[in-house]
Amino acid sequence: MKQLKSDVRLIYKGFMKIRQIRPWMLSLVVIRSVFEAISPFITIYMSALIIDGIIAKYDFNTLITYAMLAITFNFIAVISIKILDKNINLFYEEFNHKFDMILSQKIADIDYANVENPQTHQKLQKIKELRNLNGTGIWNLFSSASLITKNFFKIIFSISLTFSLFTLNGNNDSSNILNFATSKLCSILLISCIVINVILTMYSNSTSKKNYFAILNGFVPLNRIYFYYFTNFIASYHAGKDTRIYNQKNLILSKQNDINNNARLITSKIGKNEIKYSSITIISTIIITTLVYLFVSLKALAGLYGVGSIVKYVGSINEFIDSFTTFMNEFASLRANNEGLIACFDFLDIKNVLYQGTLPVEKRYACDNGDNDYEIEFCNVSFKYPSSEDYALKNVSAKLKIGKRLAVVGMNGSGKTTFIKLLCRLYDPTEGIIKLNGVDIRKYDFKEYYSLFSVVFQDFKLFSFPLGQNVGSTVDYDIVKVEETLAKVGFTKRYSKMKKGCNTFLYKDFEEDGVEISGGEAQKIALARALYKDAPFIVLDEPTSALDPVAEFEIYSKFNEVVSNRTAIYISHRLSSCRFCDDIAVFHEGKLIQRGNHDTLLANDKGKYHELWNAQAQYYA
């Protein structure tokens, strides 16, 4: 009972979500269901009238009027269904589109901590997997809503038309069999048979469906593996090199073959399940239909009603059996569909926990004609990743002044990138606070605070969009500014070879004439994107790791010009490339252990900087 309650609550939540995303759609579905439900009963009812009319020798005009009425009612119903269908399909497309947008928007809006959490991606993945598998999820609610309402109305109409059949009990003693057929007992027995048939059909349908879903679930891991091979080996030409060098063809093909064999086994199980349970339904339906015909005909023979009513009663009872079974089954399907709804809401209900401040950030950046007076201060900041027991940063205190060049150095895993993630508010400190111009950064409006930073992360991502959109990060960008920034990062030579200029697609995923770019070129484009965004702080995390020495020198030699009056924070484990920075912060095991310029730090021969410098210097020598 508790389970039923929570299932119903979830289904209600699903319907409310649909209503919120595409209002009126469900109302149209219900109206269409009424038309769909009434249509067969008009035919049944009017046919009975016409047959009775013919037998009673009604005049031709009356009979034609009945026929015309039946045709007109059905015509109106069919036309209305068509018109409603057109709008419902349109609404359904809109709903699908909006729901996909909501999923994308959600992943863009959730706390970054959740983006780094693999569970978040598994949740999103599950929504897609269940949807691709059998449409399970919020989408299934439409067909269920339509079937449930349609069959609900059909049940009402069929009961109204057959009610008199069971109340008309005669007192005929012409023969035993007719006597029995017209008795109350016979009515009760037939109703019981109908109920047994409905229960049997419901049982076999719901068991068959349950088995079907259980068997189908076997496809989920297979699909996942298949898409893994598809994206990583077949569709990704990047893998082409490895597969050839290591002769991996047979390895991959044998794995794919295993998937296909398993898939064949699953399909065969589905077939067997279908045959087993549908035969139960077919046999029981044949038996009950025969009994209904017998019962209705015998009552007619006993003179309780005319031949026309035979059509009406038989048709209505068949409709009742069919609609009641579908109605109950759909309820079972609706509950089975909850697995998909849970997946949808598991993802959509992920809560943001980062404090959402409201303070606007002062517009002091020089580009906005401000005095550029920004200061960021880390006050005794410590941080643990949500999934970790250990501190990634411990008691870090540091001030960053606008216009300065700060290098953050240290060995791998020393906390450099974590320091940047906290600075940009991708995470909040576990302890301590970070201040912008003396105010805790949590109090600032999130988006405004982000606007202060341009970051080239080590694992930056460029999209298979045109070059200009990648640099401008918008659909409509300033082409002159894009070209200027590309020139600043030394991309001019490569750019001149791009026939479509800023409209050249990066990579070939969407466009055949998209261009392949090297790791170094990608880094230059990412750098141009960072410069295009006129943010007062620019953070470069190993920005030249993929550049050749000439390109690296080119960027460094004009680094001051490129960065201009921004505050630049430059992260690297290559100490030689930090010498141009006037301020160097040395991180070790999550702590900021030294700070100063190159000469002062090097002079301290007991310091970490001195040790790291000497360890690396032998390679430069």
In the complex with ligand ADP, the residue whose CB is nearer, 417 or 454, is 417
Site residues for ligand ADP, 56-85, by CB under 6 A, read none
Part in contact with ligand ADP (CB under 6 A); list of ranges 6-14, 48-56, 244-252, 380-388: 380-388
Q: Which of 28, 127, 392, 498 binds ligand ADP (CB under 6 A)?
A: 392
Name the pairing type of β-strands 567-572 and 405-410.
Answer: parallel
Neighbours of 155 (CB within 10 A): 18
Neighbours of 22 (CB within 10 A): 20
Closest residue by Cα to residue 493 from 459, 473, 517, 464: 517
In the complex with ligand ADP, the residue whose CB is nearer, 123 or 384, is 384
In the complex with ligand ADP, the residue whose CB is nearer, 389 or 513, is 389
Is 23 a binder of ligand ADP (CB under 6 A)?
no
Part in contact with ligand ADP (CB under 6 A); list of ranges 4-12, 158-166, 215-223, 410-418: 410-418
Is 440 a binder of ligand ADP (CB under 6 A)?
no
Is 417 a binder of ligand ADP (CB under 6 A)?
yes
Report in angstroms how near the CB of residue 581 gets to ligand ADP at its nearest: 17
Label residue 539 exposed, middle or buried (CB < 10 Å: 0-12, 13-18, 19+). Answer: buried
Report in angstroms how near the CB of residue 420 gets to ligand ADP at its nearest: 8
CA distance linking residue 139 with residue 213, whole number of Å: 16
Part in contact with ligand ADP (CB under 6 A); list of ranges 170-178, 188-196, 200-208, 412-420: 412-420
Site residues for ligand ADP, 91-150, by CB under 6 A, read 116
Question: Which helix (H) or strand (E) is 311 found in, with range?
Answer: helix 307-336
Is 415 a binder of ligand ADP (CB under 6 A)?
yes
Neighbours of 181 (CB within 10 A): 24
Is 388 a binder of ligand ADP (CB under 6 A)?
yes
CA distance linking residue 38 with residue 160, whole number of Å: 12
Question: Which helix (H) or strand (E) is 399 found in, with range?
Answer: strand 391-401
Question: Which helix (H) or strand (E) is 455 found in, with range?
Answer: strand 453-456
Report in angstroms how near the CB of residue 117 gets to ligand ADP at its nearest: 8
Site residues for ligand ADP, 462-491, by CB under 6 A, read none
In the complex with ligand ADP, the residue whose CB is nearer, 206 or 572, is 572
Query: Which two structure tokens, joined as six digits, stand for 180?
Result: 């029995």
Q: Which of 410, 490, 536, 543 binds ligand ADP (CB under 6 A)?
A: 410
Query: Which two structure tokens, joined as six digits, stand for 71?
Result: 């045709």
In the complex with ligand ADP, the residue whose CB is nearer, 135 or 607, is 607
Is 412 a binder of ligand ADP (CB under 6 A)?
yes
Q: Which of 230, 380, 413, 617 binds ligand ADP (CB under 6 A)?
A: 413
Site residues for ligand ADP, 220-249, by CB under 6 A, read none
Part in contact with ligand ADP (CB under 6 A); list of ranges 91-99, 305-313, 386-394, 600-608: 386-394
Q: Go through the chain and tell me how many residues it has.
A: 621
Q: Which of 73, 166, 212, 385 binds ligand ADP (CB under 6 A)?
A: 385
Part in contact with ligand ADP (CB under 6 A); list of ranges 62-70, 406-414, 467-475, 485-493: 406-414
Q: To 5 degrees, how large is the angle CA 313–CA 314–CA 318?
A: 115
Point out which residues pair with 359 in neighbouring strands: 444
CA distance linking residue 497 with residue 603, whole number of Å: 48
CB proximity list for 286: less than 8 A, separation 6 or greater: none
Q: To 5 degrees, how large is the angle CA 613–CA 616–CA 619?
A: 140
In the complex with ligand ADP, the residue whose CB is nearer, 247 or 412, is 412
Query: Which two structure tokens, joined as six digits, stand for 567?
Result: 């505050």
In the complex with ligand ADP, the residue whose CB is nearer, 240 or 413, is 413
Part in contact with ligand ADP (CB under 6 A); list of ranges 5-13, 357-365, 381-389, 494-502: 381-389
CA distance linking residue 401 with residue 406, whole number of Å: 9
Task: Identify residue 522 by its one-letter amino acid code.
Answer: A
Residues that bind ligand ADP (CB under 6 A): 116, 385, 387-388, 392, 410, 412-418
